[in-house]
A and B are shown apart, each in its own frame.
Chain A
Amino acid sequence: MKQSIFTVKSNTALTATVYRMELSGDTAECRPGGFVNIALSEKFLRRPISVCDVNGDILTIIYKVVGAGTEQMSQIKAGATLDVLTGLGNGYDLKKAGAAPLLIGGGVGVPPMYLLAKKLREEGKRVSVILGFNTKTEVFCEEDFRALGCDVTVTTVDGTYGVRGFVTDAMDGDYSHIFTCGPEPMLRAVYKASKTDGQFSFEERMGCGFGACMGCSCKTVTGYKRICKEGPVLSKEEILWEA
């Protein structure tokens, strides 16, 4: 974990509710599947946001406006400075990827797939990506994944773009390992449909984001884990679904 000041370089809307922010600062501890925790003026708690991309000292995050905090984030202008904790979360273990990993992102679970896909492509892996959205107007990042040389399938629940249905409706190909992030119902469905081992990234309401408050604990096959510290990525075999 590292606490440092980042400067906002850009903050632009990708869809009606999803924004991309680029920040410059000390990105040394930012990794695929990890997250940062951003302090906002007037808000007591920080906002945990997944790492989407790192290019030198530029950190990219993509976030959805869901409440007053992220609404405030969407108004931040280039040049503003932010107090950011970096290096949070365990992140994905790329060593388990195999030759042809499948990456599945749903909604705001898409951004963490980007840096992961980039690293896996750098390692020469054949990367397939399924991006799931509700409807055409919510789709983002498709071209970014194509530009990395990934085999990209987009699904929309209402069929207005790509394959009609859920991400699981596009999981029929062969793959060596699954990496996924998205809403819990999607993770459950992917878990059931998956034919290989996998790594699943979970979301939980957090207090501190760095393991101190025990606000985001969950039960796993291998004991209690903090989503912010031993997570957010859990391996398939350790997940314990609660009824």
Chain B
Amino acid sequence: MGSLKVNLCGIELENPVIPASGTFGFGYEFAEIYDINCLGTFSFKGTTKDPRFGNPTPRIAECTAGMINAVGLQNPGVEKVISEELPKLSACFNKKVMANVSGFSVEDYVYTCEKLDKEEQVGWLEVNISCPNVHGGGMSFGTSPEAAAEVTRAVKAATTKPVIIKLSPNVTDIASIAVACEEAGADGISLINTLLGMRINLRTRRPVIANKMGGFSGSAIFPVAVRMVCQVANAVKIPVVGMGGVTTAEDVVEMMMAGARAVEVGAANLINPTACRDIIDDLPRVMEKYGIENLKDIIGVAK
């Protein structure tokens, strides 16, 4: 059997499968039903400087082959994440974890990243400059190359661990933003965050989601994600982590062929809690079917 191993910014992953932030909490809900140490790593719940409740409910709308969420970065704040969530996480997961960080100012990002950078189990900082759910918040950084670069520079100056910038797909030219982050010192790029979407309840004639709009995810967005991962992988030299609608082992292989070094799985975890384990278990079969000896050999072959 070939190898599933990939190297992400200097840290070796047993396999490229990574549950995406916001769909996996801090891991322990999933550890109730399977040993999550089979994962390459996982990206924990988006963490901010201060505690946040997030948006009013309803926060969820179902779609064909996907869902819209407007959770609004609910999290207990970085202090409690470190004092309460990380100990529970390390009780069920013994590998390096990816710390996902959001903020509403450059100072916020720096504050939160600096704190998490000091945590031993944190292997990477994944900086979300793209969450579409917060009014006047994270969105603005991800939609301009200058703002994206500013956050990247500031976080890099304050931390020691690999910094992966997570991009929004709700932009006109994603490659230019990726390049700006690379030039500002980013160690990697992850994409795509959710696509802005909206549903309306025909009976009430009102938006289904209290926040009106939210982030669309799920298998429906997979082709958009593959396209954007390919565009970014062609534009930068740093590692690219691909995500967006990944549901099967075939999707992981396709995302890697588009240029992803590792692959995050999001909404699939919410409908099938063992989705990531199932994908990892199925990868050897898919590799054999398509004549893949080592997974790392196919990264970007279709770029």
Task: Pick the most buried of A46, A213, A224: most chain B CB atoms within 10 A of its CB.
Answer: A213
Question: A211 — which chain B residues lie within 8 A by C-beta?
Answer: 25, 29
The main secondary structure of chain B at its interface with chain A is loop
Q: What separation, in Å, do the CA atoms of A217 and B71 have in the docked complex?
A: 9
Residue of B45, B69, B274 touching A215 (CB-CB under 8 A): B69
Residue of B45, B271, B274 touching A45 (CB-CB under 8 A): B271
Chain B interface category by residue count: 20 to 34
**Beyond A212-B269, A218-B57, is A1–B69 a contact (Cβ under 8 Å)?**
no
The main secondary structure of chain A at its interface with chain B is loop
Nearest A residue (CB) for B55? A217
B270 touching A213, Cβ below 8 Å? yes
Encode contact with A along B256-276: 1 for CB under 8 Å, 0 otherwise.
000000000001011111100
A151 to chain B, nearest CB (A): 36
Question: A206 — which chain B residues lie within 8 A by C-beta?
Answer: 60
Question: B60 — which chain A residues lie within 8 A by C-beta?
Answer: 45, 205-207, 213, 215-216
B57 touching A212, Cβ below 8 Å? no
Cβ of B91 under 8 Å from chain A: no
A60 to chain B, nearest CB (A): 24
Q: What separation, in Å, do the CA atoms of A1 and B33 have in the docked complex?
A: 7
Residue of A3, A207, A224 touching B270 (CB-CB under 8 A): A207
B58 touching A208, Cβ below 8 Å? no
Encode contact with B along A184-214: 1 for CB under 8 Å, 0 otherwise.
0000000000000000000011111011111
A44 touching B57, Cβ below 8 Å? no
A196 to chain B, nearest CB (A): 28
Q: What separation, in Å, do the CA atoms of A206 and B59 have in the docked complex?
A: 8
Scan residues 1-21 of chain A and give those whose CB is less than 8 A from a CB of chain B.
Answer: 1-3
Cβ of A43 under 8 Å from chain B: yes
A212 touching B25, Cβ below 8 Å? yes
Question: B54 — which chain A residues lie within 8 A by C-beta?
Answer: 214, 217
Chain A interface category by residue count: 20 to 34
Encode contact with B along A40-60: 1 for CB under 8 Å, 0 otherwise.
000111100000000000000
Cβ of B173 under 8 Å from chain A: no
Cβ of B66 under 8 Å from chain A: yes
B71 touching A44, Cβ below 8 Å? no
A212 touching B271, Cβ below 8 Å? no
A217 touching B269, Cβ below 8 Å? no
B218 touching A44, Cβ below 8 Å? yes
A66 to chain B, nearest CB (A): 10
Scan residues 201-243 of chain A and give those whose CB is less than 8 A from a CB of chain B.
Answer: 204-208, 210-219, 224, 229
Question: B170 — which chain A residues lie within 8 A by C-beta?
Answer: none
A45 to chain B, nearest CB (A): 5
Question: A110 — which chain B residues lie within 8 A by C-beta?
Answer: none
Q: What separation, in Å, do the CA atoms of A229 and B71 have in the docked complex?
A: 16
Cβ of A157 under 8 Å from chain B: no
Cβ of A39 under 8 Å from chain B: yes
A208 touching B271, Cβ below 8 Å? yes
Task: Pick the most buried of B60, B66, B218: most chain A CB atoms within 10 A of its CB.
Answer: B60
Question: B58 — which chain A residues lie within 8 A by C-beta?
Answer: 204-205
Task: Pick the most buried of B29, B32, B208, B271: most chain A CB atoms within 10 A of its CB.
Answer: B271
B270 touching A212, Cβ below 8 Å? yes
B57 touching A217, Cβ below 8 Å? yes
Cβ of A85 under 8 Å from chain B: yes
Encode contact with A along B57-90: 1 for CB under 8 Å, 0 otherwise.
1111111111101010010000000000000000
Q: What separation, in Å, do the CA atoms of A214 and B55 have in the docked complex?
A: 10
Cβ of B48 under 8 Å from chain A: no
Question: B218 — which chain A residues lie within 8 A by C-beta?
Answer: 44
Scan residues 1-34 of chain B and give those whose CB is less than 8 A from a CB of chain A.
Answer: 22-25, 29-30, 32-33
Residue of A44, A83, A214 touching B62 (CB-CB under 8 A): A44
Q: A211-B29, A212-B29 are in contact. List 6 more A-B contacts (CB 8 A).
A: A1-B273, A44-B64, A45-B271, A205-B208, A207-B270, A212-B30
Query: 8 A-B contacts, Cβ less than 8 Å apart?
Result: A1-B33, A3-B273, A44-B62, A45-B271, A205-B60, A211-B25, A214-B59, A224-B53
B residues contacting A by CB (< 8 A) are 22-25, 29-30, 32-33, 45, 53-54, 57-67, 69, 71, 74, 208, 218, 267, 269-274
A residues contacting B by CB (< 8 A) are 1-3, 39, 43-46, 69, 83, 85, 204-208, 210-219, 224, 229
